[in-house]
Structure 1
Amino acid sequence: MTTPQHDQADGTVTLESELGPTGRPRRDFPEPEPLASHGPARIIALCNQKGGVGKTTTTINLGATLADYGRRVLAIDFDPQGALSAGLAVRTHDVPTIYDLLLSNKMPVADAIQHTNVAGLDVIPANIDLSAAEVHLVSEVAREQILAGVLRRVAGDYDVILIDCQPSLGLLTVNALTASHGVLIPLECEYFALRGVALLIETIDKVRDRLNPAIKLDGILATMFDSRTLHSREVLERVVEAFGDTVLETVISRTVKFPDATVSGTPITEFAPEHPAANAYRQLARELVFRGAAA
């Protein structure tokens, strides 16, 4: 039997008597209104010191979906592994990268920006050279604010800037947090991934106290969720108990379509536009806009 829907005063639609994976009433967030003008960008760091939790997948697909909704998006590959660059099929060698911008404040940022196959989504790539950046930056004055200075020069051209951080809480990640207005934490629905969240939030609090008073935690995004396993459901339940409404209502389920899309160098929204995973990222983009975390 189909459950009735009710329009809410905030514009969302709630499905009566139907709970989402987070245990809250399942809502469908409204499609964002077109923007009358563009910029300045809201900068969001996608951060988790644990690897393999979906940071890069989320950066690619969230960026592509926001671009589909008419936003101008710049994705920053801030991981020496260059997975974001590979996932969007952009060049990483014999071209300027984020590493070059960090080391030279005279290089025009536009020289490192590459367009992708998704209209409205641009990328600043990275490669293994970025792994040497911490060594070069450690003796710099205001070393934690180098990336902020880079992004300040192009923020007016975009609505959203997404920073795909490396799985570390080192100087590069601190740079990303110092440059950002908000942090999105992708969290794999697995016990060991849960253990590190408190340390990450502690790091965000230290950055807020010492370097960037304006930074906000935009939300915790549950990823790689498998509703068939008790473990996934229990981990998600514990996260919601611990962090409440900070946990986004959108949940990204595990699927083999993500690696398939990565190999093709295409966001899931273009590789398999009707797949539930593509719809989940559209829901995520709508939820972030609804929450005020994105334009």
Structure 2
Amino acid sequence: MRVVSLISTKGGVGKTTTAANLGGFVADAGLRVLLLDLDVQPTLSSYFALTRQACAGAYELLARNERDLERLVSRTSIPGLDLIVSNDDMGQLGTLLLHAPDGRLRLRNLLPIFQAHYDLLLIDTQGARSVLLEMAVLAADLALSPVTPEILAARELRRGTLQLLDDIAPYRHLGIQPPPLRLLINRVHPVSADARQIQQALRQVFGHSGGVQVLHTAVPAIDAYPRAATQQWPVHRVEYRKPSGRAAPAALETLRALAGELFPAWVERFAQVSGRGGRQHGQ
């Protein structure tokens, strides 16, 4: 099971949208995906319609070490895409984990209960430095951070997210390596600088930071993403063909490229995904 945490110490960069659409795309490729919503503002928890609402959620998982998947896991309307909802309405988890001896390692220690059931776990986090964010990073194989295409935003990410990775480096003494960080340039406007120039600028900012890589895939600022959220669908199902006259690729093409960069072992599966609710006809 691959574990990817969507992280940023800055809010509003697109973590939830990325988690929802990446999860929906990978599920449509026939893989088993679990979304874990750790944001106290539970946007991911309401992104997709649910066909089954579990009686428990992230609070029971982390505060009570709940291990019964029937109690924890809700089913979304996307086959193969499950969800553990955020239900820490009072924001108590942060305080509880901060004072627990295993607080920052609790999620990592609970991962075995999901191993046999899922191919991919995507963790959405709050856009602020917290013990929950540190816990999500320490549980991950890979950290993915959307960043908007402004150098000032990139510098802020360097002060926040990269500092977080530096601060958890002592866990190496316990045999826990901080995950590599992938930066996803998000919401690239057609009227802004070319995405390749932005990538080059970001590489200059992060070029001397070990374990950090700017992804080649950039997500354009197109209206398909808010339309998909309104319809409670993954964006590749909403826009699977590029509209005539637009330079930006279709959302399906962007998600396929992004998923292929992050999970190259599954590229052949991703090639079979269409925008009509699953794989290409005849597959």
Corresponding residue of 1:220: 183
Q: After TM superposition, list the pairs within 5 Å mapping 1:246-261 onto structure 2.
A: 246-261=213-228
Task: Supply the distance in 2 between the matched residues of 1:128 and 1:213 (Cα, whole angstroms).
Answer: 27
Provide Cα deviations, 1:36-69, integer angstroms capped at 9, x if missing partner: xxxxx11111101111111111101111111122
CA distance in 2, matches of 1:291, 1:190: 32
Give the structure 2 partner of residue 86 of structure 1.
46
Shift of 1:130: 6.2
Q: Which residue of 2 aligns with 1:115?
A: 75
Choose the corresponding residue for 2:240, options 253, 262, 273.
Answer: 273
Q: String of CA shifts for 1:213-263, please: whole Å, max 9, x gaps.
A: 333224111100113223977644310323358111111001122112112
8 Å CA contact retained: 1:45, 1:183 = yes
Amino acid at match of 1:70: G
Distance 1:111 1:90 in 2: 15
Secondary structure at the counterpart of residue 186 of structure 2 = strand
Task: Specify which of 154, 178, 189 is matched with residue 138 of structure 2.
Answer: 178
- Equivalent residue number for residue 263 of structure 1: 230
Q: Distance in 1 between matches of 2:79 and 2:203?
A: 35
| Alpha-carbon distance change, 218 to 57 in structure 1, aligned in 2, over 3 angstroms | same
1-structure distance, mates of 2:51, 2:107: 21
Residues 19 and 122 of structure 2 are in contact (CA less than 8 Å); yes or no, is this contact kept in structure 1? yes
CA distance in 2, matches of 1:95, 1:159: 23
Distance 1:239 1:92 in 2: 42
Comparing 212-221 and 77-86, the one that deviates more? 212-221
Whether 2:77 is the aligned partner of 1:77: answer: no
| 1:158 is aligned to 2:91 | no
The one-letter amino acid of 1:202's match is: Q
Deviation at 1:278, TM superposition (A): 2.6
Q: Distance in 2 between matches of 1:159 and 1:228?
A: 38
Q: What is the RMSD computed on CA atoms of the aligned residues? A: 2.7
2:230 is matched by which residue type in structure 1? V
Unaligned runs of 5+ in 1: 1-40
Code of the aligned partner of 1:86: S
Q: CA deviation at 1:264?
A: 1.7
In the alignment, does 2:103 pair up with 1:103? Answer: no
Q: Secondary structure at the match of 1:48?
A: coil
Closer, same or farther in 2 for the Cα pair 1:228/1:122, shift >3 Å? same
Alignment of 1:241 with 2:241, yes or no, is no
Instruction: Specify the SS of the correspondent of 1:196.
Output: helix
Match 1:67 to one of 24, 27, 31: 27
- 2:164 aligned with 1:197, yes or no? no
Do the aligned partners of 2:60 and 2:66 also contact (CA within 8 Å) in 1? no
C-alpha distance in structure 1 between counterparts of 2:22 and 2:150, whole Å: 22
Q: Which amino acid is 2:253 matched to?
A: N
Please, which of 148, 171, 178 is the counterpart of residue 188 of structure 1?
148
The verdict on how the C-alpha distance between 1:194 and 1:231 changes in structure 2, with shifts beyond 3 A counting, is: farther
Q: Any gaps of 5 or more consecutive residues in structure 2?
A: 243-249, 270-283
1:22-33 correspondence to structure 2 within 5 Å: none
The 5-angstrom pairing of residues 11-26 of structure 1 reads: none
Matches of 2:151 and 2:18, distance apart in 1: 20
- Native 8 Å contact 2:27 2:33 kept in 1: yes
Q: How many residues align?
A: 254
Percent identity of the aligned residues?
28
